[in-house]
Amino acid sequence: MSTTIGAAAPAAAPTEAAVLSASKVTMRFGGLLAVNAIDFAVADRQIAGLIGPNGAGKTTFFNCLTGLYKPTSGEIRLHGRVLSSKPHLVTRAGVARTFQNIRLFATMTAEENVLVARHSRTTAGVFAAIGHGPRYHREERESRERARELLSFVGLSRVSGELARNLNYGDQRRLEIARALATEPSVLLLDEPTAGMNPQETRAAADLVRAIRDRGVAIVVIEHDIRFIFNLCDVVTVLARGEVLSRGVPSVVQADPRVIEAYLGGAADPPGAPGAAVSDGAGGGGR
């Protein structure tokens, strides 16, 4: 479905062409309706943005998509097949993610962090590993080569032997992406990938996301930096209070009065316009 890249058709209701789709996904925490009947789809090689004020339900929705939460109701499909709500099966099926709060193995090296993630893709199994049979050795060698290739791809070759905890913030975010890619996903979900980055790092992150898309991976990205989102994404979905407030190509969403209202309380400048307030209190907290 690469013909629809950047086309006017927004990723709305699930379609057969969708890589990942959600149908009426709802997540309740006691009396709180965090995500309310959300329909969503991302197509092959599409970059889909997800924005919305703090507490809008963006991360909760990601947690539903990746099996971390079992939705109260609704259905999630990958390539048209219903997805399990068990994280390891979701990963194995081809959905990878990064976290709003970076989750790396702090006392492992960058390369080891990527290698650990490879294990969802290797097949040698426990007995081969114990016996260190030929298949184990071949897969181990291939995994190391792939880990190095991924570290080079995200620009981290120079720190592959450093402990994750010693990397600067931007490098830790890149390492999380390399680790997610090590599971060979068909869709990658990024939760605030530029939080804490300076403008130069943010531009590099946008280039990296495009390069990942060019490798044939569909992308869903949450960000508070809406300039980043509107420059990068083919389609944008705006959530507010657990519901879809607006959806479409960036130019349409940017001009939607409901979006302007949600972000700026009705001020004249649309989000992303020069001088407009582009953050509603970015990131940091949350899951």
Ligand X SMILES: Nc1ncnc2c1ncn2[C@@H]1O[C@H](COP(=O)(O)OP(=O)(O)OP(=O)(O)O)[C@@H](O)[C@H]1O
Strand 235-240 relative to strand 47-51, pairing: parallel
52 binds ligand X (CB under 6 A): yes
Of 2, 7, 54, 152, the residue at the interface with ligand X (CB under 6 A) is 54
Judge residue 26's burial from the number of C-beta atoms within 10 Å of its C-beta, 0-12 exposed, 13-18 middle, 19 or more buried.
middle
> Per CB under 6 A, which region of 51-59, 103-111, 125-133, 177-185 contacts ligand X?
51-59
The residue within the footprint of ligand X, chosen from 13, 32, 82, 106 (CB under 6 A), is: 32
Shortest distance (Å) from residue 167 CB to ligand X: 23
Of positions 11, 17, 18, 34, contacts ligand X by CB under 6 A: 34
Query: What does the alpha-carbon distance between residue 284 and residue 192 come to, in Å, rounded to a whole number?
Result: 9
User: What is the closest distance, in whole angstroms, from the C-beta atom of residue 240 to ligand X in the complex?
Assistant: 9
Cβ of residue 62: shortest distance to Mg ion, in angstroms?
Answer: 8
> Using the rule CB under 6 A, is 213 a contact of ligand X?
no
- Tell me whether residue 33 or residue 252 sits nearer to ligand X (CB atom): 33
| Nearest-5° Cα angle at 37, 183 to 227 | 65
- The contacts of residue 249 (CB under 8 Å, 6+ apart) are 6, 8, 10, 234, 235, 236
Stretch that binds ligand X, among 29-37, 101-109, 160-168, 270-278 (CB under 6 A): 29-37
Pick between residue 34 and residue 167 the one whose CB is nearest to Mg ion: 34
Residue 97 within binding range of ligand X, rule CB under 6 A: no
Q: Do 273 and 266 touch, CB atoms closer than 8 A?
A: no
If the CB atoms of residues 57 and 94 are measured against ligand X, the closer one turns out to be 57
The residues that bridge with 22 in the sheet, in sequence order, are 40, 76
56 binds, among Mg ion, ligand X, none (CB under 5 to 8 A by kind): ligand X
In which element (H, E) is residue 210 found?
Answer: helix 199-214
Whole-number Å distance between alpha carbons of 22 and 107: 36
Q: Which does 55 bind (CB under 5 to 8 A by kind): Mg ion, ligand X, none?
A: ligand X
- AA letter at 68: L
Bridging pattern class, strands 95-97 and 47-51: unpaired
Q: Which does 238 bind (CB under 5 to 8 A by kind): Mg ion, ligand X, none?
A: none
| Contact range with ligand X by CB under 6 A, out of 8-16, 38-46, 77-85, 279-287 | 279-287
Q: Which of 21, 91, 98, 100 binds ligand X (CB under 6 A)?
A: 100
170 binds, among Mg ion, ligand X, none (CB under 5 to 8 A by kind): none
Interface pick for ligand X out of 19, 44, 49, 58 (rule CB under 6 A): 58
Among 4, 59, 160, 202, binds Mg ion (CB under 5 A): 59
What is the distance between the alpha carbons of residues 207 and 201, in angstroms, rounded to a whole number? 10
DSSP output for 218-255: EEEEE-S-HHHHHHH-SEEEEEETTEEEEEESHHHHHT
Q: Which residue is nearest to Mg ion (CB)?
A: 59
- 75-104 residues in contact with Mg ion (CB under 5 A) are 100
What is the distance between the alpha carbons of residues 107 and 104, in angstroms, rounded to a whole number? Answer: 9
